[in-house]
Each structure stands twice: as structure tokens, then as C-alpha cells.
């Protein structure tokens, strides 16, 4: 089955569990708008095609805004303002082979992202304008740019695995491909002769996922109650209420859900629902004229916010922050042969755009956040890092990893290692087959019946296990640890909290001096975290303590055993505490507890 596009959308008006998951082949017709004067005509043609029973899949660029209001300023577009493919009918979603994707994954080499100095300067300009009373909020964004090696289909599959659910679309539009895994609904609209229904779900407010279940719940509660995040959300809700009123029956606009928290793999997001009954005769063009672009990606008030965006952002946003979706027939045809129409569009955040030029596949992906009067540069910069984590996860193939000690054909702490591996599989969306993992380990143990071995147990993206063994040599105590000369900025990454083969952030701190066993790491807050391949304990104030997970570290199995046995307790250790430390230890399941010194 040859497909050109596919969509995998939640359907809010059909129930929260409903999904529209379809593929599309070669279109019967393409509808394109290259000028603002053509955008409305294209949307009218899309609406008419759906009324006649066709399915239309496509997008509007952010720069299409002036087609609906000339006061909405943008840069000149770098491609069609509107692009829709018209299909006779959808096809079933392809039966993708997960094992094939794991064997032939896509890779993206990203160039350096936005510079911090430019980010700080833009934030300062926005806050000056807010202080002057010009506006309340600006959604400021910047692009990440890179090159793709491999197939776009493999990258889309990896993106969906990294950001499941929501409103995913892979649209092939000539030399341009859109790989959107946006979690944000722009609008879901069901037309009807007596008036339709519409819901928008703006997403404003972000918090990172926690390193522990307790911290995760605390982060969600903070997001629900933080004044800055609530203010950011409610500003956009008010903007959407006003926009929706343009097409709504009188007194029908309401907000049934306010400040809901949605758990995504790398962040918590705050969403609210804005609903209305649309007036009889409302068209798809009317809906876009009232709502586009979504206020969550502009700011408030929309006109002034977009003016500032044009001043601060040096290039067009393109499809990023525009709209990507599907327009389809709904229900039986009437006496006139026409059907009611349903339209679902996402706000294309968490979206990668691919251009093929001269045999190279160039990609870009936008990252942004809403800047309000209470925004702090450090906090907003961290939010950008949280938001880009989805694309970093999908950009480089990796396997899940456990390192175990095998001695006399017995694995040390095997149940604990398997539990941790199962948790990592759940986090990254990797299939888990406990029997296959156990069988893999048994086979390896039977081949290594004597001596001590270091075993690497790996699980690929398809859930297939493999194991390899290496001779394990004893380390002379005390082992020497060197203090890192700079902060471990990756401390709070998911690739620290879960053990995988993606370890470049650790490798950058590998010791180079002779006789040094490992490097003692510390985070940007000056808190000691771990070493590059083990956990740390310190004897201070009459007890052994180890840093808690909230400092940013891998919760090792050896550490967990020491905590369970009462040998150590959790406590924050700061660099400034070093003079009071009377003893150090290196801990992991492979080597156990090793006395250590820190230089």
C-alpha cells in the first residue's frame, strides 16, 4: 500500500477515547494558495469537497494570517500559504513493522540551537513592551535546524513513540514533508444544518516531569496552582472566547474545563477547553477567519503580539504555529446530495518540517513559550529545553540498558534490574516481553558458568533483548574520584533518569588522568549528583547519605539496595559541604560498595 499522508488524531467531540487514524494515497486534486487573496477560496473549495464526500488533508502556514485580517503582520511566506490534498476516501493505517523500524532507524544531526544571549535580549524587549502596557503576552519562538539521515517514515514513527497520542500527522507535500506530533488541538468542529459544535483546547503552561512519582505529582500540582502559569493560560482562554464568539450563537461560548493538567512524556502541560455552538451556515473559512492563528502561539492582544513576533523573529515560522488537519464528510447526504462537514486541526507545535534539496534532507523544528510579565529568563530557557526533549529523544536511536554482575551463573539483584528495565520500557514506549528477557539471560548464563562477568542487557526499540558478557576485574580500594570542573547540565534529562545506550552526556565527563576511577558530577544548582557510571555516598554529620533523585541522577540498583538495608539515607549534598565530608563511597550493583576518595 502506497501512502502519501497519514493522520492520527484524537476526536474530542466524539469522546475522549475516539481516534481518527487513517492513511491516504495519491490525491485526486491539490488545492494551493500562494497569495493571501487565494486562501479563502482554497478553504471554500475544501469545505465544498468535503460536502461532496471527499476527504481533504492539509495545512495553513502561520503567514496565512493576513488573509483574514491585514492587521495580522508576519514575514513573507517561504512556501504555499495553504495546501490541501483532496482524496476520494481514506485507507487503513499502514501496518508498520516495529522490528524493521528498529533495524533501520532515522538519525537527525541538529546544529546548535538558539543562543542564550539572543534569547535574553528578546525576553527583555517583550517585558519592556508589557510594562509599557502595549500587550499582556507574547509567544516567542526560535528554530532548531538539522539534517536527516534515513527515511522520513522512520523519523515520524520515532516522533510518535516519543510523543504519543494527541494530533499526529505526516503529510507529503512535494519536496516538503510535515511530521507533526502536536499534543495541542486548534479546533474540532462539527457542522450541522441547525448550527454546529466547536471546541478549542489551547495549551499554555508547562512544567517538567518529575524524577520520582512524588516529585512528578508535585510538579503537576505546582503547574495547576502557579500564578504565572494560570495567568498565561487564562489570557489565551479569554482571547479564544472572544475569537470564537464571532462564529458562535449568542451566549453559547463557555469554558467547561479550565487549568487541566496533561501528562506528556517529558513535560506537564496546562490546557483549557473553550466550546460553542456555531451559527447555521458557518463555513470552514468563517472558522479560520475567526480563530487563526491560534492565540496560544501569538499572545494577547493578538494584533500587537504578532507585530512584536515579526520584529523579534528573523524568519517566517512556516507551518510551525499554523494549522495542520483534516476536513471530512460526516453523516449521510441530504436531499441536495451534500453532507455535513467535520474538521479537526492541530496547532503544529512539536512539529518537524523536512525539505529535500540536492539530495540532502534538511529539517527544522520550532520551540517557543509564552512570555508574560512574571517570566524569568532562566525558567523560560529551561522550559525550552524541556519542550525540545521530544525531538531529541526521536533524533538518535538508542537501546535500553542494564548492567548486571554475573558470578557462578547467578545474576546479582536480578529482580531489581528487571523492574528498572521494565519501568524504562514503559517510559519510552518500548514493548516489554518478560519471558523473552529471562530466556535471553538464561542462555547467556549457561555459556558463562564460571568466574565473574559484567553483563550488558539491551532492549531495542522493538523490545528485542540481547545480552553480552565481559570479564569483570576487581577494583583496588579506595577508588579515586575526580570532581567535575563544570556543571553536569544534563542532570535532569530523561536519559539520566533512565539507563540507555545514549551516554554522550556522561562520556563528556569521563576521567582522563591516570589512576582516576570516575568523575564526581554536580548540577547547575551546585548539588552533587552521581558519577558517570555509579552512585555516590558521603559520610557527613555522623551518617552515610546519598543524593536524592530530585538532584538529577540515575537511581542505581546498588543505591536502592543500600537505601533498603538502611546503610544510607537520602540527603542533598552541595559542593560547599565537601569540607565536612569524612568519607566517600562509590556504589553500583556491578561492584557493590567501594571506598573512595575525591580529589
Question: Which tens digit of pLDDT belongs to each residue from 19-29?
Answer: 999 999 999 99
122's grid cell: 528578546
195's grid cell: 448550527
How much is the pLDDT for 386? 86
**Architecture label for domain 479-598:** Alpha-Beta Barrel (3.20)
How much is the pLDDT for 277? 97
Cβ count within 10 A of residue 373: 12
> Mean of the per-residue pLDDT values for the chain?
94
264 SS3 class:
coil
User: Which H or E run contains 288?
Assistant: helix 284-291
Q: Pick from 494, 409, 402: which is nearest to 456 by CA? A: 402
The 10s digit of each residue's pLDDT in 485-532 is 999 999 989 999 999 999 999 999 999 999 999 999 999 999 999 999
Q: State mean pLDDT over 306-333.
A: 97
Confidence of residue 248 (pLDDT cuts 50, 70, 90): very high
Instruction: Say if residue 331's pLDDT is above 80.
Output: yes
Q: State mean pLDDT over 66-72.
A: 98
Percent of the chain having pLDDT more than 70?
98
How much is the pLDDT for 99? 66
How much is the pLDDT for 98? 64
How much is the pLDDT for 16? 65
How much is the pLDDT for 295? 96
Instruction: Say if residue 95's pLDDT is above 80.
Output: no
How much is the pLDDT for 101? 65
354 within 8 A of 176, measured Cβ to Cβ: yes
| pLDDT greater at residue 104 or residue 205 | 205
Burial class of residue 504, CB neighbours in 10 A (0-12, 13-18, 19+): exposed
Domain boundaries, the chain: 5-395, 400-471, 479-598
Q: State mean pLDDT over 233-247.
A: 96
329 within 8 A of 90, measured Cβ to Cβ: no
Give the distance, in angstroms, between the CA of residue 449 and the centroid of all CA atoms in the same chain. 44
**What's the CATH number for 5-395?**
3.60.120.10
Domains 5-395 and 400-471 share a fold: no
60-69, 197-206, 379-388, range with the lowest pLDDT: 379-388
How much is the pLDDT for 459? 97
Strands (E), 209-339: 254-263, 267-277, 299-300, 323-330
Instruction: Say if residue 579's pLDDT is above 90.
Output: yes
How much is the pLDDT for 228? 87
How much is the pLDDT for 305? 97
DSSP state of 574: B
| Gyration radius from the chain CA atoms | 27
Q: Pick from 571, 586, 570, 594: which is nearest to 521 by CA? A: 586
500's grid cell: 540507555
The 10s digit of each residue's pLDDT in 433-443 is 999 999 999 99
How much is the pLDDT for 105? 86
User: 419: which residues sit within 8 A by CB, 6+ positions away?
Assistant: none
Give rounded-to-5 percent helix, strand, coil for the chain: 30, 35, 35
104-113, 250-259, 261-270, range with the lowest pLDDT: 104-113
DSSP state of 66: G
* Domain 400-471 in CATH 3.30.1340.10: no
Strands (E), 450-567: 452-459, 465-471, 479-483, 518-522, 528-531, 535-540, 543-546
Amino acid at each position: 500500500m502506497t501512502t502519501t499522508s497519514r493522520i492520527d488524531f484524537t476526536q474530542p467531540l466524539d469522546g475522549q477515547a475516539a481516534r481518527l487514524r487513517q492513511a491516504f494515497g495519491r490525491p485526486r486534486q491539490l488545492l494551493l494558495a500562494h497569495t493571501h487573496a487565494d486562501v479563502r477560496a482554497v478553504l471554500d473549495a475544501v469545505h465544498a469537497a468535503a460536502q461532496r464526500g471527499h476527504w481533504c488533508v492539509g495545512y495553513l502556514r502561520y503567514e496565512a494570517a493576513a488573509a483574514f485580517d491585514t492587521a495580522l503582520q508576519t514575514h513573507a511566506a517561504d512556501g504555499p500559504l495553504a495546501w490541501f490534498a483532496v482524496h476520494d476516501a481514506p485507507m487503513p493505517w499502514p501496518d508498520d513493522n516495529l522490528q524493521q523500524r528498529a533495524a533501520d532507524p532515522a538519525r537527525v544531526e541538529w546544529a546548535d540551537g538558539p543562543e542564550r544571549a539572543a534569547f535574553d535580549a528578546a525576553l527583555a524587549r517583550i517585558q519592556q513592551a508589557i510594562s509599557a502596557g502595549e500587550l499582556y503576552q507574547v509567544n516567542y519562538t526560535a528554530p532548531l535546524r538539522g539534517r536527516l539521515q534515513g527515511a522520513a517514515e522512520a523519523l515520524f514513527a520515532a516522533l510518535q513513540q516519543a510523543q504519543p497520542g494527541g494530533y499526529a500527522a505526516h503529510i507529503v507535500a512535494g519536496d516538503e514533508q510535515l511530521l507533526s506530533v502536536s499534543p495541542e488541538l486548534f479546533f474540532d468542529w462539527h457542522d450541522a444544518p441547525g448550527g454546529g459544535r466547536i471546541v478549542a483546547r489551547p495549551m499554555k503552561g508547562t512544567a517538567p516531569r518529575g524524577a520520582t512519582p512524588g516529585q512528578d505529582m508535585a510538579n503537576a500540582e505546582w503547574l495547576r496552582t502557579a500564578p504565572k502559569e494560570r495567568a498565561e493560560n487564562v489570557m489565551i482562554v479569554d482571547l479564544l472566547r472572544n475569537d470564537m464568539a464571532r462564529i458562535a450563537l449568542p451566549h453559547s461560548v463557555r469554558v467547561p474545563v479550565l487549568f487541566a493538567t496533561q501528562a506528556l512524556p517529558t513535560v506537564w502541560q496546562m490546557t483549557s477547553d473553550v466550546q460553542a455552538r456555531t451559527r447555521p451556515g458557518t463555513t470552514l473559512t468563517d472558522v479560520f477567519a475567526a480563530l487563526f492563528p491560534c492565540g496560544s502561539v501569538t499572545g494577547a492582544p493578538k494584533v500587537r503580539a504578532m507585530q512584536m513576533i515579526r520584529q523579534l523573529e528573523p524568519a517566517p515560522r512556516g507551518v510551525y504555529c499554523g494549522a495542520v488537519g483534516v476536513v471530512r464528510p460526516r453523516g449521510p447526504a441530504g436531499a441536495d446530495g451534500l453532507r455535513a462537514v467535520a474538521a479537526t486541526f492541530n496547532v503544529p507545535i512539536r512539529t518537524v518540517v523536512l525539505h529535500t534539496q540536492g539530495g540532502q534532507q534538511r529539517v527544522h523544528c520550532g520551540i517557543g513559550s509564552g512570555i508574560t510579565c512574571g517570566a524569568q529568563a532562566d525558567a523560560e530557557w529551561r522550559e525550552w529545553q524541556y519542550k525540545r526533549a521530544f525531538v531529541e529523544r526521536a533524533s538518535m536511536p538508542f537501546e535500553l540498558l542494564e548492567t548486571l554482575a554475573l558470578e557462578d551463573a547467578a545474576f546479582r539483584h536480578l529482580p531489581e534490574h528487571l523492574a528498572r528495565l521494565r519501568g524504562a520500557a514503559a517510559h519510552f514506549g518500548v514493548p516489554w516481553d518478560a519471558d523473552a528477557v529471562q530466556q535471553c539471560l538464561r542462555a547467556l548464563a549457561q555459556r558463562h558458568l564460571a568466574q565473574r562477568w559484567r553483563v550488558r542487557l539491551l532492549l531495542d526499540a522493538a523490545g528485542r533483548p540481547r545480552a553480552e558478557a565481559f570479564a569483570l576485574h576487581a577494583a583496588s580500594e579506595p577508588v579515586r574520584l575526580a570532581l567535575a570542573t563544570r556543571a553536569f547540565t544534563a542532570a535532569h534529562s530523561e536519559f539520566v533518569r533512565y539507563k540507555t545506550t545514549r551516554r554522550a552526556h556522561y562520556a563528556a565527563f569521563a576521567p582522563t588522568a591516570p589512576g582516576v576511577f570516575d568523575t564526581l558530577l554536580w548540577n547547575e544548582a551546585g548539588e552533587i549528583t552521581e558519577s558517570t557510571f555509579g552512585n555516590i555516598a558521603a559520610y557527613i554529620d555522623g551518617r552515610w547519605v546519598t543524593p536524592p533523585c530530585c538532584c538529577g541522577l540515575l537511581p542505581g540498583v546498588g543505591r536502592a539496595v543500600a537505601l533498603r538495608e538502611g546503610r544510607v539515607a537520602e540527603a542533598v549534598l552541595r559542593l560547599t559541604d565537601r569540607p565536612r565530608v569524612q568519607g566517600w563511597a562509590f556504589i553500583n550493583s556491578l561492584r557493590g560498595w567501594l571506598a573512595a576518595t575525591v580529589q
